[in-house]
């Protein structure tokens, strides 16, 4: 029992030692989860930007001993073609991360626009758009993406398109709900009475008031998008063999199961990116929405 | 000259799977330029619905709304050309866009009128510091927000200003200040003002005429002094008795017994008869559809003779 006050004191000392800059951040951003998410996500962005500087070898060169275990010289080992896995994982960040960002950005734009139009204009626009969204929701995501990717032909661009086909719908649904709630708010009506056109009203009064939650969803969705994208590559419907794409690398690692390192390191890369963005999304949600934040805090107590 | 005239207005709220709610059931009202009309009634009697219908925010199921000789069209997807009617809404927490600065929102109004005054001038006119142009709504109190909303509405130079309980969320001292401010600014600019409230004592301070609404109908309308001093309709009398009097005698305000009936299923005959202390036989069967006090106690003589024969 007597150790408890001591522990509390030690904890408060640690808190006081936190760098001043960190303490100035809002509370949601000071939790370990948030810091870890931000650090890992940032690290991956840096890796994607500086892969050629960081990678010890050419990711495509087949010049090393085949299936060498991790060790000095090649820390993540080599694959069955004698390529350095560390270099391939680092270069893989240049494929997966920008594509995931692009994918989510496009989903937000397309889904958000369609959902906003459905919610704001209602009537037949709402009916048509939301029935299409329902159609998308009626299929298991990965299967629909597989069907679309298979129909379009295996390539990374087509995989992005396929994921886009399944990903826009959730933004449309959320966007519509948010717009419906804001549309009837009195400042929107005031704007219309002052002669705002519907587009101006959407842009000035509606959009800024729904963008926050949509961005949270987008951050949370980044992990799902990456999983889907690498899932398609894993199934052979995305990136073509020589290119260093994480999903495809995991798939090729499955062929040489005894050499665990071939599949594990690209798998870990996917895992860390997904986790980092999920942490970031949670943090953003708590920072944005005080009601959720309070609920979380009450549960913690 | 009548600026706004409402005749036999019927507005229904329709929601799927439910009978339509007749929130306004044959109301008539006029507002002249430069005139202040107070509309009072209990919560749920259809005041907001009437005000929104005048702005074209509700579809009209019957009757007419005429503004400057032309019918008011419902607000659709097209840009509103009719900016002569502006409204200040009830809830100070949603009457301003939380993401935009007060000055920008007032500038929207100025763009309509093309006036050369600045948002800061308007803020000054509604009694706020000029520096508030840079504030976001969350940096303002409820009363300050309502003042900004008033400034924005007035910036458009409306010929008719509607205040839908713009003061009900404010504390007592702010209430009369904001109400008086609205009256002064509207009258100075020559606009008509339709001021909605459930508080007769505030309306009395600013209105030229008072209209009393009950369950979707205007039950009494008249000059402020006569309605206040000699109310005719039993409902108006009850509303007046419900106002606390600071006379030092400790007289408690008399609560009006009973609740407002459901507008989806109004009582037959006079809508007020189940709560009326003077209810007569005729009140239960025939609706009193005459003015200025829609009550069988004050029926024009020719009508009483007629109904006696029935
Ligand atoms: N969207 C709606 N759908 C269905 N019924 C509605 C809707 N809006 C209002 N009503 C009903 O219409 C009636 C009149 O509502 P209204 O908002 O006009 O009252 P009010 O006089 O403004 O009340 P308050 O003083 O509380 O603002 C109420 O019985 C209400 O339940
Ligand atoms: Mg109301």
- Please name each of the domains of chain A with its CATH number: 34-45+88-300 (1.10.3720.10)
CATH number at residue B55: 3.40.50.300
SS3 for B35?
Answer: coil
CA of B164 to the centre of ligand 2 (A): 6
Angle, vertex CA B35, rays to CA B34 and CA B40, nearest 5:
145
For residues B186 and B288, what is the distance between their CA atoms, to the nearest angstrom? 34
Find the A265 Cα to ligand 1 centroid distance in Å.
62
Q: Does B302 reside within a domain?
A: no
Model confidence at A104: pLDDT above 90: yes
Q: Is the pLDDT of residue A63 over 60?
A: yes
Report pTM: 0.81
- B contacts of A196 (beta carbons < 8 Å): 79-80, 108
* pLDDT confidence tier of residue B282, bands split at 50, 70 and 90: confident
Record: contact B91-A186, CB cut-off 8 A? yes
Around ligand 1, the residues with Cβ closer than 6 Å are B 13, 15, 21, 23, 41, 43-49, 165, 198, 263
- Measure A154 CA to ligand 2 centroid, in angstroms: 59
* A187: chain B residues, CB-CB within 8 Å: 94-97, 105
Are A187 and B99 inside 8 Å of each other by CB?
no
Phi then psi for residue A74, to 5 deg, are: -140, 95
Ligand 2 centroid distance, CA of A106 (Å): 42
The answer as to whether B83 is a domain residue is no
Asked if B132 contacts B145 with a C-beta cutoff of 8 angstroms, the reply is no
Would you call A192 an interface residue with chain B, using a CB distance cutoff of 8 Å? yes
Q: Which of B21, B90, B195, B261 has most ligand 1 atoms within 8 Å of its beta carbon, as the pocket-test mutant?
A: B21
Q: What is the distance in A from the centroid of ligand 1 to the CA of B13?
A: 9
A278 near A37, Cβ under 8 Å? Answer: yes
Mean pLDDT of A111-130: 92
pLDDT in the model for residue A300: 43
Q: What mean pLDDT comes out for the span A44-54?
A: 90
Residue B26: enclosing H or E segment and its boundaries? strand B21-32
Task: Name the packing angle between helices A260-288 and A85-121 (round to 10°).
Answer: 40
pLDDT band for A122, please (50, 70, 90 cuts).
Answer: confident
Confidence of residue A301 (pLDDT cuts 50, 70, 90): very low
Chain B within 8 Å of A123 (Cβ-Cβ)?
Answer: no
Token pair for B289: 């559809």
Residue of chain B minimizing CA distance to A181: B94
The boundaries of the domain holding residue B235 are 2-14+21-75+158-268
Average of per-residue pLDDT across B186-204: 91
Domain-located, residue B97:
no
Chain-chain contact of B95 with A187 (C-beta, under 8 angstroms): yes
Q: Is residue B203 included in any domain, yes or no? A: yes
Contacts of A210 in chain B (CB under 8 A): none
- Residues from chain A that touch B112, judged by Cβ atoms under 8 A, are 194-195
Interface test with B, best of A185, A190, A213 (most B CBs within 10 A): A190
User: Rounded CA gap, A228 and A247, in Å?
Assistant: 9
Cβ-defined contact of A194 to B109 (cutoff 8 Å): yes
Q: Which of B94, B109, B112 sits opposite A186 (nearest CB)?
A: B94
Ligand nearest the Cα of residue B39 is 1
For residue A289, the chain B residues in CB contact (below 8 A) are: none
Q: What is the pLDDT of residues A169-200, one digit of tens each?
A: 989 998 998 899 888 899 999 999 999 999 99
Instruction: State the burial class of residue B288 (Cβ atoms within 10 Å of its Cβ: 0-12, 13-18, 19+).
Output: buried
Per-residue model confidence (pLDDT) at position B307: 55
Helix (H, G, I), strand (E, B) or coil at B116: coil
The residue whose CA has the least distance to atom 5 of ligand 1 is: B13
Question: Which atom of ligand 1 is nearest to B18's Cα?
Answer: 4
Contact A243, A88 (CB under 8 A): no
What length does chain B have?
Answer: 310
Other CB atoms within 10 A of residue B148 CB: 29
Residue A247 in contact with residue A239, Cβ under 8 Å?
Answer: yes
Spatial distance between the Cα atoms of A101 and A252, rounded to a whole number of angstroms:
25
- The pLDDT tens digits for A198-216 are 999 999 999 988 888 888 8
Cα of B151 from ligand 2 centre, angstroms = 21
What distance in Å separates the CA atoms of residue B23 and residue B217, rounded to the nearest whole number? 9
Report the share of chain B in percent with pLDDT over 90: 52
Q: Is B112's CB within 8 Å of A194's CB?
A: yes
User: Tens digits of per-residue pLDDT, B286-303?
Assistant: 888 877 888 888 877 766
pLDDT at B298: 82
Q: Does B59 touch chain A (CB under 8 A)?
A: no
Q: Which residue has the higher pLDDT, A71 or B146?
A: B146
| Number of domains forming the structure of chain B | 1
pLDDT of res. B196 = 94
- Let me know: does B262 contact B274? Beta carbons within 8 Å: no
Please name the residue whose Cα sits nearest to atom 7 of ligand 1: B13
Q: Are A244 and A6 in contact (CB under 8 A)?
A: no
Q: Which residue has the tokens 């709900």?
A: A177
Domain-embedded: residue B82: no
- Tell me whether residues B94 and A121 touch, CB distance under 8 A: no
Residue B122 · residue B155 · CB < 8 Å:
yes
Q: Which ligand is nearest to the CA of B46?
A: 1
Q: What is the mean pLDDT of residues B143-153?
A: 92
Kindly state the average pLDDT of the residues A269-287.
88
Chain A residues with CB-CB distance to B57 below 8 A: 189
Strands B160-164 and B62-67 come out as: unpaired
Q: Where are the alpha helices (DSSP H) in B75-118?
A: 102-113
The three state secondary structure string of A260-291 is: HHHHHHHHHHHHHHHHHHHHHHHHHHHHHCHH
Set of chain B residues whose Cβ sits within 8 Å of the Cβ of A209: 97-99
What is the mean pLDDT of the segment spanning A13-42? 75
Give pLDDT tens digits for B232-246: 988 999 888 888 776
State the average pLDDT over residues A104-132.
Answer: 93
- The Å distance, Cα B52 to ligand 2 centre, comes to 10
User: Could you tell me how many residues make up chain A?
Assistant: 301
Residue among B40, B49, B52, B219 to mutate when testing ligand 1 (max atoms within 8 A of CB): B49
CA B111 to chain A, closest CA, distance in angstroms equals 9
Q: Is residue B30 part of a domain?
A: yes
Cβ A192 vs Cβ A201: under 8 Å: yes
B90 touches chain A (CB under 8 A): yes
Alpha carbons A29 and B201: distance in angstroms, whole number: 51
Between B77 and B13, the higher pLDDT residue: B13
How far apart are alpha carbons A35 and A40 in whole angstroms?
A: 8
User: How far apart are alpha carbons B100 and B260 in whole angstroms?
Assistant: 39
Residue B273 domain flag: no
Residue-wise pLDDT tens digits, B91-106: 888 999 998 999 999 9
Which residue has its alpha carbon closest to ligand 1 atom 25?
Answer: B43
Q: Do A196 and B91 touch (CB under 8 A)?
A: no
- Segment B81-134, tens digit of pLDDT: 888 999 999 888 899 999 899 999 999 999 988 888 999 999 999 999 999 999
| pLDDT higher at B171 or B128 | B128
Please count the CA atoms within 13 angstroms of the CA of A239 that sit on its side-chain side: 23
- Among A228-237, A260-269, B262-271, the least confident range: B262-271
At residue A296, the pLDDT reads 45
- When pLDDT is averaged across residues B35-59 and rounded to a whole number, the result is 93
Is the residue at B29 inside a domain?
Answer: yes
Strand positions, DSSP E, B106-250: 160-164, 192-197, 209-214, 217-223
Instruction: Report the percent of chain A where pLDDT is more than 70.
Output: 87
A133: β partners: none
* A67 pLDDT higher than 60: yes
């Amino acid at each position: 029992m007597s150790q408890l006050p001591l522990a509390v004191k030690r904890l408060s000392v640690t808190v006081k030692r936190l760098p001043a800059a960190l303490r100035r951040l809002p509370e949601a951003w000071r939790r370990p989860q948030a810091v870890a998410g931000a650090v890992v996500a940032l690290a991956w962005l840096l890796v994607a930007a500086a892969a050629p500087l960081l990678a010890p070898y050419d990711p495509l060169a087949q010049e090393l001993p085949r299936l060498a275990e991790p060790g000095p010289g090649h820390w993540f080992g080599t694959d069955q073609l004698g390529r350095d896995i560390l270099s391939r994982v680092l270069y893989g960040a240049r494929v997966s991360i920008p594509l995931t960002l692009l994918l989510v950005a496009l989903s937000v734009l397309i889904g958000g626009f369609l959902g906003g139009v459905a919610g704001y204009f209602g009537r037949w626009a709402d009916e048509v758009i939301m029935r299409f969204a329902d159609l998308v929701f009626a299929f298991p995501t990965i299967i629909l993406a597989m069907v679309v990717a298979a129909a379009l032909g295996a390539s990374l661009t087509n995989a992005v398109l396929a994921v886009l086909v399944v990903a826009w719908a959730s933004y449309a649904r959320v966007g519509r709900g948010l717009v419906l709630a804001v549309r009837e708010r009195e400042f929107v009506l005031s704007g219309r009475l002052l002669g705002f056109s519907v587009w101006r009203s959407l842009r000035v009064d509606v959009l800024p008031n729904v963008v926050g939650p949509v961005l949270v969803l987008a951050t949370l969705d980044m992990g799902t998008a990456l999983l889907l994208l690498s899932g398609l590559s894993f199934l052979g419907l995305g990136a073509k063999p020589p290119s260093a794409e994480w999903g495809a690398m995991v798939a090729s690692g499955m062929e040489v199961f005894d050499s665990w390192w071939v599949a594990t390191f690209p798998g870990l890369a996917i895992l860390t990116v997904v986790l980092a963005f999920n942490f970031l999304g949670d943090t953003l949600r708590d920072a944005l929405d005080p009601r959720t934040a309070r609920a979380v805090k009450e549960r913690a107590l | 000259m009548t600026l706004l005239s409402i005749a036999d207005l019927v507005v229904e709220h329709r929601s799927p799977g439910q009978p339509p709610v007749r929130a306004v059931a044959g109301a008539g009202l006029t507002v002249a330029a430069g005139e202040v009309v107070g509309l009072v009634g209990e919560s749920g009697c259809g005041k907001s619905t009437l005000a929104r219908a005048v702005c074209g925010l509700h579809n009209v199921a019957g009757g007419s709304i005429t503004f400057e000789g032309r019918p008011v069209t419902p607000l659709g997807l097209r840009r509103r050309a009719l900016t002569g009617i502006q409204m200040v809404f009830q809830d100070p927490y949603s009457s301003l866009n939380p993401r935009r600065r007060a000055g920008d929102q007032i500038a929207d109004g100025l763009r309509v009128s093309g006036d050369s005054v600045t948002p800061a001038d308007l803020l000054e006119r509604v009694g706020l510091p000029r520096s508030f142009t840079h504030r976001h709504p969350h940096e303002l109190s409820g009363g300050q927000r309502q003042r900004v909303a008033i400034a924005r509405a007035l910036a458009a130079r409306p010929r008719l200003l509607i205040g839908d309980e713009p003061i009900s969320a404010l504390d007592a001292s702010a209430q009369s200040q904001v109400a008086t401010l609205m009256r002064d600014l509207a009258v100075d600019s020559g606009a008509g003002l339709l001021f909605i409230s459930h508080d007769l004592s505030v309306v009395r301070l600013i209105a030229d005429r008072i209209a009393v609404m009950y369950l979707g109908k205007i039950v009494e309308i008249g000059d402020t002094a006569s309605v206040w001093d000699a109310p005719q309709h039993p409902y108006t009398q009850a509303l007046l008795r419900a106002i606390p009097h600071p006379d030092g005698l400790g007289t408690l305000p008399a609560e009006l017994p009973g609740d407002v009936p459901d507008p989806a299923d109004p009582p037959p005959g006079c809508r007020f008869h189940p709560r009326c202390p003077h209810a007569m036989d005729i009140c239960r069967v025939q609706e009193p559809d005459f003015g200025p006090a829609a009550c069988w106690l004050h029926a024009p003589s020719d009508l009483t003779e007629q109904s006696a024969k029935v």
